[in-house]
Amino acid sequence: DRRTVAKLEEVWSDDHFLSGKGTNQVWRVDGETMLQLAIEDLGIFFDRSCYIILHRYDSGPDGSSGGRILYYWVGSKCSGEEELQAHKSACALDASLGHTCSVLRVLDGKEPRHFFTVLQGSMIVYDSDHHSPQQVDDTPTKPLLAVETPNMFCIREMGPECMRVEQVPPLASYLNSSAAFLIISDTLIVWYGKNARANDREYAKNMLTYFCPERSRDYSIINEEKENDSFWLKVENNGDYPKDFCKPKLHRRVPTLTKCKMYFGEWSFQDIPDFSQEDLNETGLFILDSHDQVQIWCGSMVWERDYSVTSQLLKAYLDEDPCARCQEDMSIWVINQNHEPSIFVRHFKSWDRDGYGGKVAYEAGRKRLRQENALIEIDCPMIDINYIDAVKVPYKNLVKEEELPAEIDLHHKENHLSDADFARVLHQSRAQFYRLPLWKQAQILRSSKLTNNSSSSPKHEPSFTRTLTNGETFLGSITNGYL
């Protein structure tokens, strides 16, 4: 029913695992270099640039342990080469930090909720076409807005405490009934769509204080379908506009785990049913796919895990995708072993933070066992030496228990046999006999009629007190032929 669907959507679609507490560093990618920006510029973007944000957190709201997340944000007007360079720079930064980060690609307009949490709940995206190249290169905290030409901003609530402000061309086709808009020129106009939320409307008025603090109280409010001629002088009426924003094309599904291997220059993929943490190993690459999100897991012993390897792996994986998904519609992660965020761990039935070893740890364990086994004297002769000083009696007398000297131990008649009788009756030497388990020894003695058959003897389980050739004493007991 609806309650079940709502609960599933809450569990699977909400990737909120950060509390917002932690430290941040931000860079803008400029070719092959990274320009570090002031922390005041965190949350301010230009749509023709790529940015890298390193967030260090102590713990998440779900109680998960701390870690590092490396976001690289790609503007909507960036080329494929610029996105690849941003990915390369992010992977290089992760390598310089010892591969201790989770690397996540964030596309302009498709930011996840935890990304907003890092930005303290809000972000502004400026249109690079409306600013001079010098302003874009310098990336000032608040670019100067020219009053000669209108500047239009879309204010939209992306989720709880997630506000997004985006500069768009002053055209009617960029309006939307599900958002609020600011038109800043020589006059200030706040436009409300019919379906705009209360938070959209209030935040739009607050942004006036940010953009135009000296005249933030001098504005007019225009509701949808109540536009006047002065409004259309500022906004070019070039056609209809949508009533709502596009919904995500992909939705969360039950995750699958795939093992990735390179054979003769080509990637091969093997699905792992009913996967668990034990299926991961430090020498392998794995993909955890939940349809709208692909997480590439890299083992700690995978030496070649730079940007080119993950890019080629993802391309080869999607080329074989029966759903024909597009990279732009999904969230892409690169996760390192021993530094998995809770967003990855929660897909496993159980998770040990210390991890399971895999091949390398297995070999180390084997080496340790070999060293411990070398200290054990496996060739130590396990022969009972009590028979040496025992009185020797013919076998038939031991069986009948007649004419036996007082020194005879009826519970260990085998000690009173000569070596020749012992080998003839038990069909093996003493060395072979005493290497057998105690239950097997008792079974052979019983079949050879060398157990105590005196009816007057107390009924107790036979016990064994053996003095070994190395001087040690072994005490054992047998119950129904078993230890």
Q: What is the pLDDT of residues 170-190, one digit of tens each?
A: 999 999 999 999 999 989 999
Radius of gyration of the chain (CA): 39
Q: CATH topology of 256-371 equal to that of 385-477? A: no
pLDDT of 470 over the 80 cut: no
User: What pLDDT is attached to residue 183?
Assistant: 95
Question: What band does 397 get if pLDDT is binned at 50, 70 and 90?
Answer: confident
Q: Using 50, 70 and 90 to split pLDDT, how confident is the model at 360?
A: low
Q: How wide is the angle at C-alpha 168 spanned by C-alphas 164 and 170, nearest 5°?
A: 135
- Give the DSSP letter string of 144-182: PPPSSS-EEEEEEEEETTEEEEEEE-SBGGG--TTSEEE
pLDDT of residue 153: 96
pLDDT of residue 475: 47
- Pairing, β 293-298 against β 331-336: parallel
Q: What is the DSSP string of 190-256?
A: EEE-TT--HHHHHHHHHHHHHH-GGGTT--EEEETT---HHHHHHSB--S---SSPPPPS------E
Residue 416 clears pLDDT 50, i.e. is over it: yes
Is-above-0.95 flag for pTM? no
Confidence of residue 329 (pLDDT cuts 50, 70, 90): confident
To the question of domain 256-371 being in CATH 3.40.50.620, the answer is: no
Domain parsing of the chain, residue ranges? 256-371, 385-477
Say if residue 472's pLDDT is above 70: no
The dihedral sign for the CA sequence 123, 124, 128, 132 = negative
Least confident of 225-239, 307-321, 406-420, 448-462: 448-462
Sequence letter at residue 177? S
pLDDT digits (tens, 9 = 90+) for 87-122: 999 999 999 999 999 999 999 999 998 999 999 999
Check whether domain 385-477 has CATH 3.30.365.10, yes or no: no
Least confident of 69-73, 143-147, 389-393, 457-461: 457-461
Per-residue pLDDT band for 404 (boundaries 50, 70, 90) equals: confident
Roughly what angle, to the nearest 10 degrees, separates helices 80-96 and 307-319?
A: 130
pLDDT surpassing 90 at residue 464: no
Range from 46-50, 222-226, 294-298, 397-401 carrying the lowest mean pLDDT: 397-401
pLDDT score of 139 more than 80: no
Longest dimension (CA), the chain: 134
Q: For residues 286 and 258, give the distance between their C-alpha atoms in angstroms, rounded to a whole number.
A: 6
Could you read off the pLDDT of 330-358 as tens digits, one per residue?
A: 899 999 998 998 889 989 988 887 666 55
Per the prediction, the chain carries an average pLDDT of 82
Task: List the Cα angle 210/77/206 in 5-degree steps.
Answer: 15
Q: In what order do the strands lie in the sheet with 44-46?
A: 44-46, 122-126, 162-168, 151-159, 180-184, 188-192, 220-223
Distance CA 339, CA 81 (A): 29
Confidence of residue 2 (pLDDT cuts 50, 70, 90): very low
Q: pLDDT at residue 8 above 70?
A: no
